[in-house]
Amino acid sequence: MKKKRLIPVLLLRNGWLVQSKGFSEYQNLGNPITAVKRLSQWASDELIYLDISTDENYDMRREDLHNPNRHTIFEILDDVSKRTFMPITIGGKIRTLKDIEDRLSRGADKISINTKPLEDKKFITQAAKQFGSQCVVVSIDVKKIDDSYIVMKNSGSEITKYGAKEWAKIAEECGAGEILLNSVDRDGKKNGYEIPLLQEVSQAVKIPVIACGGAGEWFDFAEAFDESAVDAVAAANVFHHIDQSVYLAKKYLYDNNYKVRPPNLLGIDETL
């Protein structure tokens, strides 16, 4: 049986690693490279790295840090790819096939696209044909409006004409290899995943669905696996505030007979 995955999400905003709440409140967590090293050592299955910067300024305004200041997303991706043993998905500001090529050539294994496909769904097909469906993740941000799950774009600020299930099926038909399904309402709230949303979308498509938005404790991961057909659970904030968080989360699931990879703490290599 295929193993279920635990995937930390890192949010990069103008050079800083941040935590998000409701797609509108952000708190700095620190250096974006240090977190990658920790998550790799704790044996994360994969890593999703989303650039939510509003401009091209990536200056941390700190030259005294152990890791040197970086000024572009590509410099940061170069550093990240050197410090991790896990597959990396990178998203944010991807508008062209060249944008995808640039990220894959700098160490990303997959790319995540959100707003561009909503403007031109053929972009999914073009990306899948050129780079393979296996590396194309369509990120879907969803808000509940009048008892319906509606797809949002532009960092969750703008309503689209699509329902979540409808858009997921379109993305699959166009060649997406995976769906990253994120609840805007639950982002950063730590009140659990939006289970009816996960059920609706994961039952509508055959490609893997990654749940995101709302995880606050290990039980939330178990509930998502129990109550829906998602293939992976992703989270940001919960993994950043607990030492050895991914290891502990995986141990909880493994000890409770969920089909995850055995928990493991990788050796620390100080040369990384």
In the chain, the amino acid numbered 158 is E
Q: Which helix (H) or strand (E) holds 246?
A: helix 245-255
Residue 144 has pLDDT above 90, yes or no: yes
Q: What CA–CA distance (Å, rounded) separates 178 from 171?
A: 9
Using alpha carbons, select from 183, 244, 243 the residue that is nearest to residue 215: 183
Give the DSSP letter of residue 64: S
> For residues 118 and 121, what is the distance between their CA atoms, to the nearest angstrom?
6
- Spatial contact of 20 and 187, defined as CB atoms under 8 Å apart: yes
Report how far apart, in Å, the C-alpha atoms of 112 and of each of 90, 91, 103, 210 are: 6, 4, 11, 12
Mean pLDDT score, 223-231: 97
Q: What is the DSSP letter of 34?
A: H
Mean pLDDT value across residues 87-102: 94
Whether 58 has a pLDDT exceeding 70, the answer reads no
pLDDT at 68 over 60: no
Domains of the chain: 5-255 (3.20.20.70)
Question: Which residues touch 170 (CB under 8 Å, ≥6 apart)?
Answer: 121, 162
pLDDT of residue 266: 65
Model pLDDT, residue 80: 74
Q: Are 172 and 215 in contact (CB under 8 A)?
A: no
Q: What is the pLDDT averaged over residues 96-122?
A: 95
Min mean pLDDT across 160-169, 174-183, 230-239 is at 230-239
- The pLDDT value recorded for residue 24 is 64
Higher-confidence position of 30 and 195: 195
The mean pLDDT value for 61-82 works out to 64
Average pLDDT rounded to a whole number, residues 245-267: 90
**Phi, psi dihedrals of residue 46, rounded to the nearest 5°:** -150, 175
C-alpha–C-alpha distance, residues 159 and 255, integer Å: 41
Mean pLDDT of the chain: 86
Residue-wise pLDDT for 10-57, tens only, equals 888 766 777 767 666 666 766 767 777 788 888 889 999 888 876 666
251 secondary structure, DSSP code: H
Task: Give the pLDDT score at 64.
Answer: 46
Q: pTM here?
A: 0.89
The whole-angstrom separation of Cα 42 and Cα 125 is 35
Taking the C-alpha atoms of residue 118 and residue 115, their distance in angstroms, rounded to an integer, is 5
Strand partners, 89: 48, 110
DSSP β-bridge partners for residue 19: 27
What pLDDT score does 252 carry? 96
Taking 90 as the threshold, does the pLDDT of residue 181 lie above it?
A: yes
Query: Does pLDDT of 165 surpass 80?
Result: yes
Is 163 buried (19+), middle (13-18) or exposed (0-12) by CB count in 10 A? middle
170 sits in which H/E element: helix 164-174
pLDDT reading at 86 higher than 80: yes
Instruction: State residue 168's pLDDT score.
Output: 98
Comparing 43-47, 90-94, 191-195, 262-266, which segment has the lowest mean pLDDT?
Answer: 262-266
- The pair phi, psi for residue 47, each rounded to 5°, is -140, 135
